[in-house]
């Protein structure tokens, strides 16, 4: 009887530690994504400033990017908002940055500017790191969500008030194959 209780208690303790570890892994992964997104935010003003000097009539795009950046910063400050609002705001900002880089391609004098190339390279490198961090975050979320949904850990997860976390998903637009523009062809 006592041995059965010890085994049961040991198993419950193992499941508890597993759930706590997975919850913490999601927090760590989100922190990694958050740090890279902050780096992106720090690069945006430099990119916009260099691009504005060459592409004055694209002001609407620059203003929209600044507005989205402010919205993302606002979602960080609101504690009652869930991570899903923040992730959606970041996805929208990333799409606008893609638009900015596409517009910039039509300004050869801008793409030849050394400071612009430096900021663009840093931004592209950072976007690759964000993509890797998003994969890490989604894997951690998947492990946690599976543990929350599967029996017997689901019982313990409900006592711990754990709920499934959102995935950092690409938008419909991001899932579309890119159109490659060839010289001399649209």
Residue that wins the pLDDT comparison between 126 and 65: 126
Burial (0-12, 13-18, 19+ Cβ within 10 Å), 30: buried
The overall pTM is greater than 0.85 = no
pLDDT at 16: 96
In eight-state DSSP terms, residue 168 is: -
Overall fold of domain 2-169: de novo design (two linked rop proteins) (1.20.1440)
Sequence spans of domains, the chain: 2-169
Beta carbons of 133 and 29 less than 8 angstroms apart: yes
3-class state of residue 81 by DSSP: coil
* Mean pLDDT (whole number) for 91-119: 72
In percent, the amount of the chain with pLDDT more than 70 equals: 70
Of the pLDDT bands very low, low, confident and very high (cuts 50, 70, 90), residue 182 is: very low
| Percentage, residues of the chain above pLDDT 90 | 36
Neighbours of 36 (CB within 10 A): 19
Query: Could you report the per-residue pLDDT of 40-79, keeping only the tens digit for each?
Result: 888 888 877 777 666 665 666 667 677 777 777 776 666 5
Asked if residue 5 lies in contact with residue 144, where contact means CB atoms within 8 angstroms, the answer is no
Name residue, tokens 């994969």: 135
Nearest-5° Cα angle at 137, 132 to 26 = 150
Kindly provide the b/e burial profile for residues 142-164, where b requires at least 16 CB atoms within 10 angstroms of the residue's own CB: ebbbebbeeeebeebbeeeebee
Contact 120, 40 (CB under 8 A): no
């Amino acid at each position: 009887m006592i041995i059965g209780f010890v085994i049961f208690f040991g198993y419950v303790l193992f499941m508890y530690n597993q759930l706590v570890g997975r919850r913490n892994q999601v927090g760590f992964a989100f922190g990694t994504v958050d740090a890279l997104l902050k780096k992106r935010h720090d690069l945006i003003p430099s990119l916009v400033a260099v691009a504005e000097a060459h592409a004055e009539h694209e002001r609407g795009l620059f203003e929209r990017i600044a507005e989205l950046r402010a919205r993302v910063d606002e979602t960080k400050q609101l504690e009652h908002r869930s991570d899903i609002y923040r992730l959606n705001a970041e996805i929208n900002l990333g799409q606008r940055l893609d638009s900015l880089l596409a517009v910039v391609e039509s300004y050869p004098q801008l793409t030849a500017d050394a400071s612009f190339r430096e900021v663009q390279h840093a931004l592209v490198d950072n976007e690759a790191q964000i993509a890797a961090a998003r994969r890490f975050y989604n894997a951690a979320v998947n492990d946690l969500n599976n543990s929350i949904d599967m029996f017997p850990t689901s019982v313990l997860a409900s006592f711990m008030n754990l709920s499934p976390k959102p995935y950092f998903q690409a938008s419909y637009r991001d899932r579309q194959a890119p159109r490659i523009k060839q010289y001399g062809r649209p």
